[in-house]
Structure 1
Amino acid sequence: MHEFKRGSLTDPLPAAAADEHVTPLMHAGGARIERIVSHGQASPPGFWYDQDRDEWVLVVSGRGVLAFADGRRETLEPGDWICLPAGCRHRVEETHSPTVWLAVHLPRADT
């Protein structure tokens, strides 16, 4: 018999805290899926994510604003998704409380 994993992205949500709350949901084939809950957090001034793998991100609820090193800004509302290619310097500029993100970190291209 197969063992199934099951859960909810929105229930229960963790209480607001100083840091975002990251919950790993699945890890398989070099990919990692996680739920991120933001309560108004933003990246520290001058900080940029610069990841070595592509990341696909969906806003499940709430609202988030991503800023990019090239000066672009993207506002994501519920149902909006974006694929951030490896090496794309970006930061979280703003989140509403709560914002629930679904992040899929894809396997590195060289693996």
Structure 2
Amino acid sequence: MKACIDKESKVKTDEWVSYKPLKEHFANLVQVPSGKKGENFPQMHRVIMGFKGWLRGMHHSVKHLQAYIDEYSYRFNRSTMKEGIFDNLLKRMVLAEPCTYKNIRN
């Protein structure tokens, strides 16, 4: 985490015991007392539950897990940017390398 998050960032976690060492590295760490499941970080829990449900419903191969996560991230991000989706799609189709089944499998 230290390599990916600026030490001046505001970091907010629950009080899970493994987060306690973060206090040494992040001056702006806020630890919220744990409450009922999903109570402290409702948006995060909604995203996680949505991902788990989506994953259970469609995909079953651990071998392709990263591709599934990439697809879910794309769908989630796309849902928040409704304007410009068509223009974005056209731009990506023109600029992207072709993706064959062989590339996906490897």
Quickly name the TM-score band, shorter chain normalised: under 0.3
Give the structure with higher Rg (CA): 2
TM normalised by structure 2 equals 0.20
Which is helix-richer, 1 or 2? 2
TM normalised by structure 1 equals 0.19
Of the two structures, which has the highest relative contact order with CA contacts closer than 8 Å and spacing of 6 or more? 1
Which is strand-richer, 1 or 2? 1
